[in-house]
Chain A
């Protein structure tokens, strides 16, 4: 069968145009909810599916490039689809398929922005992300990057009638722009003095150690601001809860990954060489971010904030893997570099699946209960069995439990950590194993956090009587959740296909592929280095547990009985067992708060013995906010006050300023 030669790149560009058309179509009848959500969003799903397939196919193919006659006169838009961008586009397409399916049933009237306008912003956001991944010159990259930031800003403030949401959006926009400055400067440094802003030109540029390091650090700063690296994480816990849930899922599941893509692109592709201490910087920063994120997630009392902090944790893990890749690569250990890179990329994909799934699940909970505070939820598995079951899959996956997908990437990353001794640097030989301890601590605490998340929302008794009448999610929402939950299971049980695909990504970047080893022992056994060193067979694992459960269940029925009596729970002999006696979200996080107290900024109010209305309150705040952000804001205010001395609102003064400036310029330029 001969098909007309349609290149994957054509399909990807076609999907971008298709999405833009869908977005504009939303403006035809902006207030018509049924048209927008039942027609346009399902059409968007088709685009996302096509994108996933095209990109996944093109991972294995040689890079394709194109030049669009748009952009600056001497710098048209350069597009390039190589394995790295194809992988991230496939990730995007895959997650967006689930998110758009969910969105088809999610949006309602009266949330501020009209549905049609929201549809436009949503699709512009998607297209901009694809263009970021396709861009092959700095100009298009920055245009797409800023379009992505602005469109997501408008999505975040969809409910713009609420002042907190507006200020959250402002913080996001501010940090996004700070980051963009960093990226712009990084490109400026990388291109050397050639004046050629295409990525090809940058690859050719000769850089000294100093300038290459400057470019790396600027890129780490710039992309770190988007990814939520410490200390530029402040926007995540504000913007994610503010945005509608599908948008939170998109931002957390997909947009953060574009920042990781940027880091990889600049470090391994554009810069001519990599120094080992860059890796140490990224590793330490990543691990600190991971620990910070998970600790703060443990004490959150609002479900989407909790997930936002958990995103910070996972980005930290990804960046730690990125740093480890640089270290191994700089010390010319391609096997371990490829292993660490595979773990990093695999974790990106996993995070896109389970974090999107959980954010979408909170969206369903939010619609069913109109409540986002954990302290008011509970027992939802009874009234929302579908969402409860699918969210359970996401919870187990994100907690890094075998045989689901979160475990696979953590296992791969730990393997890379464990076999690090042997580096020619004795200090690193000590540091890297300690880093693995930090990683394990973070993932163990993540299990704590996810038990809290799931237990408080879905299990127990409803903390509010109205919750018993909460409705389950509709068909579209269920389909979106099920798509992502299935991915969590399949990526966990059959990691081989994806790892074989990732070979095509690691080969150009670190010049090694682990997939050949991983596939040597058949698709049953995952052994990235060699089977004697380490192996893991997720399918056997799943069968072992499922078979164990089945056999035990049947054996107990056969040899004994299956009689069950239902009664009230044990109330310790008291008569009134109320739902309020369960742990609240604060209570569940309290041990973490107590053990890691120095890391939090806790404000407590203790009731006194003579208070007329005694109350206890404790709020946990981010230290960075007070160390970094508040001083910057204060400084900014002070500078503005100085400047405001010049401002009197009188025209003759402004004319005088212009006149003086003109004279000064004439004198200087003489």
Chain B
């Protein structure tokens, strides 16, 4: 098999894996949370059932919905698929990876978010615009923090390409970077904010004053809503995969190591399950913040990331 064909194959496998399994990851997270709250939970497969139900329903659109509103779910979904195909999950030989580096990854998330915000403003209800405003606010503060988080690993790897970073961190001789620890904490904080989790937002609420993401998609129904929910799940999974690739990349298969693939799939699944459980614990033990505390939270993430970078520059480790 030619190397190019091989990389396309592994690209497709990996993208499909993330896209198909993302709702299961969300289901697993919810299940863990239910257990922690002493409920029995709806099961890991519940997100698939919800999506199936939504796909079968008739879409209800507001009378004044413009094409922006109808296009937004598709744009969000394909942005997230694109993002999922950039992050190395089981191996680092990906056909699509030269097309976008970490900065472009941040750009994809931003594109999806801007479309979501514009669509929310399209109907012209109080909730939609409020959600758009809050979402853009949180994003505009978390984006710099996210990029600062990327700084340390990319200084270590001397590359902004995610594959090169993951390769460098996973297959270089084992070394512990204190700077990466700072970056990892900051990354978890950004992950919580960007994915609308507690303490910035609460994904299971529809209480007017507190919701951000749910307010954004309040006007959506049926297949549009299903696509958005799916995109949200892919986003969360991609973020977790990103954290795994940057901070605990061991087990990632290198180019052409087919015999390593089962190991790396298992390693990834295990790490993802652990990440989901950890997120569930984090969400159970913390409470949602007021929206105007969010800048402090994200400011802290930003400072931690900067500290990580300065540690690297000063200590070289």
Contact = CB atoms under 8 A, between A and B. Distances in A.
Interface of A: 378-379, 381-382, 388, 392, 396, 399-402, 407, 411, 414-415, 418-419, 421, 429-430, 433-434, 436-437, 440-441, 444-445, 447-448, 450-452, 454-456, 459-461, 521, 525, 527, 531-537, 540-541, 544-545, 547-549, 551-553, 556, 559-561, 563-572, 577, 579, 581-583, 587-588, 590-592, 594-595
15 contacts: A421-B155, A440-B147, A440-B148, A444-B110, A444-B139, A533-B159, A534-B161, A537-B99, A544-B82, A545-B78, A548-B82, A564-B58, A565-B59, A583-B132, A590-B133
Interface string B59-73: 111111110100100
Among B60, B79, B310, chain A packs the most CB atoms within 10 A around the CB of: B60
Contacts of A553: 74
Contact of A569 (B71, B123, B134, B164): B123
A411 B110 CA distance: 14
Interface residues of B, number: 78
A430 B309 CA distance: 9
B140 interface: yes
Given A379-B124, A527-B98, A594-B292, 6 more contacts: A378-B124, A437-B147, A536-B103, A548-B77, A549-B71, A587-B129
Contacts of A534: 101, 103, 159-161
Contact of B302 (A436, A437, A521, A560): A437
B209 to A, nearest CB: 13
B200 interface: no
Nearest to A536: B104
Main secondary structure of the interface of B (DSSP, over half): helix
Interface string B282-311: 000000000110010000001000100110
Contacts of B161: 532-535
Contact of B63 (A447, A548, A567): A567
Contact of A401 (B77, B110, B155): B110
Given A418-B151, A421-B313, A552 B99 contact: no
Contacts of A547: 78
Contacts of B77: 548-549, 552
Contacts of B137: 448, 591-592, 595
Contacts of B65: 566
B275 interface: no
A313 to B, nearest CB: 13
Contacts, number: 248
A552 B107 contact: no
B94 interface: no
B279 interface: no
B82 A451 contact: no
A117 to B, nearest CB: 41
A587 B78 contact: no
B158 interface: yes
A440 B130 contact: no
Given A382-B66, A429-B313, A536-B101, A447 B155 contact: no
Among A445, A525, A569, chain B packs the most CB atoms within 10 A around the CB of: A569
A533 B158 contact: yes
B93 interface: no
A438 to B, nearest CB: 8
B244 to A, nearest CB: 22
A430 B61 CA distance: 51
B98 A570 contact: no
B125 A577 contact: yes
B75 interface: yes
A583 B133 contact: yes
Contacts of B218: 570
A204 to B, nearest CB: 42
Contacts of B104: 402, 407, 411, 536, 541
B160 A418 contact: yes
A494 to B, nearest CB: 15
B68 A459 contact: yes
Nearest to A531: B98
B56 interface: yes
B61 A564 contact: yes
B60 A567 contact: yes
Interface stretch (B33-41, B114-122, B170-178, B179-187): B114-122
Given A451-B121, A556-B223, A569-B219, A532 B164 contact: yes
B193 interface: no
B32 interface: no
B143 A525 contact: no
B285 to A, nearest CB: 27
Contacts of A419: 158
B122 A440 contact: no
A556 B55 CA distance: 8
A459 B66 contact: yes
B236 interface: no
Nearest to A540: B99
B124 A460 contact: yes
B227 interface: yes
B154 interface: yes
Contact of B61 (A459, A565, A594): A565
Interface string B136-150: 110111011001100
B177 to A, nearest CB: 15
Nearest to A548: B78
Contacts of B58: 561, 563-565
B126 interface: yes
A570 B219 contact: yes
B140 A455 contact: no
B136 to A, nearest CB: 4
Contacts of B68: 381, 392, 459
Contact of B223 (A440, A444, A447, A560): A560
Contact of B107 (A379, A401, A525, A569): A401
A173 B94 CA distance: 57
Contact of A451 (B96, B118, B223): B118
A536 B102 CA distance: 10
Contact of A540 (B96, B126, B136, B306): B96
Q: Which 3 pairs across A and B sit closest by C-beta, in order of nearness?
A: A548-B78, A460-B124, A455-B121
B189 interface: no
A339 to B, nearest CB: 13
Nearest to B295: A595
Among A400, A455, A461, A572, chain B packs the most CB atoms within 10 A around the CB of: A455
A441 B148 CA distance: 11
B132 to A, nearest CB: 7
Contacts of B127: 570, 572
Contacts of B219: 569-570
A424 to B, nearest CB: 14
Given A444-B144, A533-B161, A582 B63 contact: no
Contacts of A445: 140
B111 interface: yes
B307 to A, nearest CB: 12
A448 B142 CA distance: 12
Contacts of A559: 55
Nearest to B120: A455
B100 A569 contact: no
Among A407, A460, A577, chain B packs the most CB atoms within 10 A around the CB of: A460
B81 interface: yes
A577 B219 CA distance: 14
A561 to B, nearest CB: 8
A460 B158 contact: no
Given A407-B107, A418-B151, A548-B82, A567 B61 contact: yes
Given A382-B64, A434-B306, A556 B227 contact: yes
Contact of A460 (B129, B143, B295): B129
A597 B122 CA distance: 29
B136 A460 contact: no
Contact of B136 (A382, A407, A448): A448
Contact of A545 (B55, B79, B123, B151): B79
B108 interface: yes
A456 B151 CA distance: 35
Contact of B55 (A392, A418, A560, A570): A560
